[in-house]
Amino acid sequence: MDRILGEGAFEVLAKAKALEREGREVLHFEIGEPDFETPENIADAGIKAIKEGKTHYVPSDGITELKEAVCEHILKTRGYRPDVEQVLILPGVKPGIYFSMVSILEPKDEVIFQDPSFPTYRSLVRYIGAKEVPIPLLEENEFRMSPEDIKERITEHTKLIIINSPQNPTGSVLTKREVEEIAEIAEEHDIFLLSDEIYSQMTYGVEHYSATKRDEARERSILLDGFSKAYAMTGWRLGYCIAPKKLIEKMTLLLINAVSCTAPFVQIAGIEALRGPQHSLKEMMNKFAERRNAIVEGLNSIKGFSCLYPAGAFYAFPNIKATGMNSRELADLLLYEAGVAVLPGTAFGEAGEGYLRFSYATSVETIERAIERIKSALH
């Protein structure tokens, strides 16, 4: 248990809440959660399901109608239609990361992943006793993981490659060529490929491509996606995994032992999210695009900061090396002196040193106030 790690966002949130209890005002940029409410049609579907008594056990792998809706969605967005037996409905995407890694990895197996990256990957690699093989993401390559870097790190012990695009914390989006090359590398070396695509519907002027299209998640690739980000359903806890049938069978056994099943009324809300009107998603992304412009322009106006425009998700990842401070020092200064809660880049891995992560899931007005506070604190 000493090998398992926490998550920096929740640690900084706890510090920020402590300041708020003292009467301080804190502007929150630490938590990766849309500030929009769940669209009304989705919430209504969940409430209606509760009132109709959809509050009992259902099959552990998920209700068939939602699994079929997921298959339709994958056909429309990824270009292939998985079999229903390839789909596992989950209480959030995190269990999918955990169940798939526990199913695949043995101690001493090697896992290639992006650095910086979502902390859960590294935490679970350590917990299982496998070996971390992080690939530093370079600003000059817009924080995209290079297929060449993957090739150089593959050994006879490599068992899994993890990719996250659009990416947390940098907002980078892999190109179609890069995605195809990574899938080809996994096939050539017969390595499992886990593609975390939770931000798949959240891009700005670029297309999202899935590495699972090469084998249609039938041989070695695993697709994880969910409803938290695109449909503002973080607290509903609903996600899904698409993978080879044998792996889905094993992951289902883990799910049975860990949580029994995903709440049925939540699954019914998920059906409405995928099959219902999509205008709420478009409106939300229009607002995120405005915020993206506001925060990048604002950060670039601060002395010592430089920030690329993220291609996806809702995170800005400015370079702060010219301030002369390390990531944690500056994050603490901004929290305690400016009342602006952000995450040090090192919360996502060693290669995050020299950067901060801002979640711009907040209003343009709040962004503008935060920029002024940061300028005052650094003056």
Tokens of 9: 């966002």
Whether residue 318 sits in one domain with residue 267: no
Q: What is the pLDDT of residues 246-303, one digit of tens each?
A: 999 999 999 999 999 999 999 999 999 999 999 999 999 999 999 999 999 999 999 9
Helix residue ranges, H only, 138-278:
147-153, 176-188, 245-258, 264-275
Q: Is 245 in the same domain as 289?
A: no
Residue-wise pLDDT for 322-331, tens only, equals: 999 999 999 9
| Residue 171 sits in the same domain as residue 93 | yes
**Do 347 and 225 fall within a single domain?**
no
Give the global pTM.
0.96
Distances (CA, A) of 149 to 133, 135, 138, 144, 178: 11, 7, 11, 11, 11
- In 3D, which of 182, 233, 219, 314 has the Cα closest to residue 46? 233
Domain's final residue, options 222, 247, 275: 275
* pLDDT at residue 11, as a whole number: 87
Identify the pLDDT of residue 211.
98
- pLDDT confidence of residue 26: 95
Residues 264 and 291 reside in one and the same domain: no
CATH number of the domain to which 337 belongs:
3.90.1150.10
Report the pLDDT value the prediction gives residue 32, as an integer from 0 to 100: 86
82 plus 229 within the same structural domain: yes
Same domain, 267 and 289: no
Is 45 among the domain residues? Answer: no
- The count of structural domains within the chain is 2
Last residue of a domain, one of 249, 275, 301: 275
For residue 117, what are the domain limits? 55-275
Q: Please check whether residues 95 and 161 belong to one and the same domain.
A: yes
The whole-angstrom separation of Cα 189 and Cα 185 is 6
Residue 39 lies in a domain: no
Q: Which residues of the chain have pLDDT under 50?
A: none
Both 128 and 228 in a single domain?
A: yes
The gap between the terminal CA atoms of the chain, to the nearest Å, is 44
Is residue 339, in this structure, part of any structural domain at all? yes
